[in-house]
Structure 1
């Protein structure tokens, strides 16, 4: 192997290690992501963790006791929704550098992008891979 080939192999190895380290850091950040929302009149605080699971729900005052059942229900569900939206903002920020350029990660997380739109444009694939896909 020539000196140029060795340098290229070394550069590829270093890039691979950099990407693995970056991916591990992103995975850690995704697993630790959480967001908190507080209702507009500060009656309720909701915290969600990864996948939008509620990890904490706190009534911040006794004001919720004066709400009708349907108002309390709306307060809880809208505050949970706000917390999940904040979480999706964080997740999108973490994931965007790992995704193809131009992909709206927030829309993807919200289920607004179909699987077909996530698939790469076949014309951009390497010829060998394109040929194999066309054989099916």
Structure 2
């Protein structure tokens, strides 16, 4: 005899959980190598972020940065970083979204409830990951960045 219906159900659930665990491990391994590179709208800077949104690369392009005010260059970099982080957040969410859905084979396995805002922070998600995510915040910061006229007196 192959066991009671409960034992069969438990075996199915265990097999599904093991399959999910293996799929999560594959997704984590793939994302560990992930990177997103974005150029700023004004094409003065290019940034690369890693899977946790960390800045891993920064390049200034076409010598434009040489003629830009410090605040303007900072705003350009922040804008590109915000966009890259949003794109990376979308990539992470897409990779893990299947694990948030209920199991089709074992309805008792309802999927993982993920608080994306807690993971990525509300500023990354406020405009929707990968869709100008955080750009409004970067623009606000850029508007507030000004050169301190006193800096030039203390140089």
- Aligning the two structures, in what range does the TM-score lie when normalised by the shorter sequence? 0.5 to 0.7
CA RMSD after TM alignment: 2.8
- Structure 1 unmatched ranges of 5 or more: 113-136
TM-score normalized with structure 2 length: 0.59
Question: How far apart, in 1, do the equivalents of 2:88 and 2:57 lie?
Answer: 14
**In the alignment, is residue 111 of structure 1 matched against residue 121 of structure 2?**
yes
TM-score normalized with structure 1 length: 0.66
Which structure is richer in relative contact order (CA contacts within 8 A, separation 6 or more)? 2
Are the structure 2 counterparts of residues 14 and 106 from structure 1 closer, same or farther at C-alpha, using a change threshold of 3 Å? closer
CA contact (8 A) 1:34 1:49 kept: yes
Q: Secondary structure at the match of 2:48?
A: strand
Q: Between 4-13 and 67-76, report the one with greater CA deviation.
A: 4-13
Question: How far apart, in 2, do the equivalents of 1:39 and 1:67 lie?
Answer: 14
Between Structure 1 and Structure 2, the one with more helix by share is 1
CA contact (8 A) 1:48 1:54 kept: yes
Q: Size of the alignment, in residue pairs?
A: 111
- Structure 2 unmatched ranges of 5 or more: 102-110, 123-155
Question: How far apart, in 2, do the equivalents of 1:19 and 1:79 lie?
Answer: 35
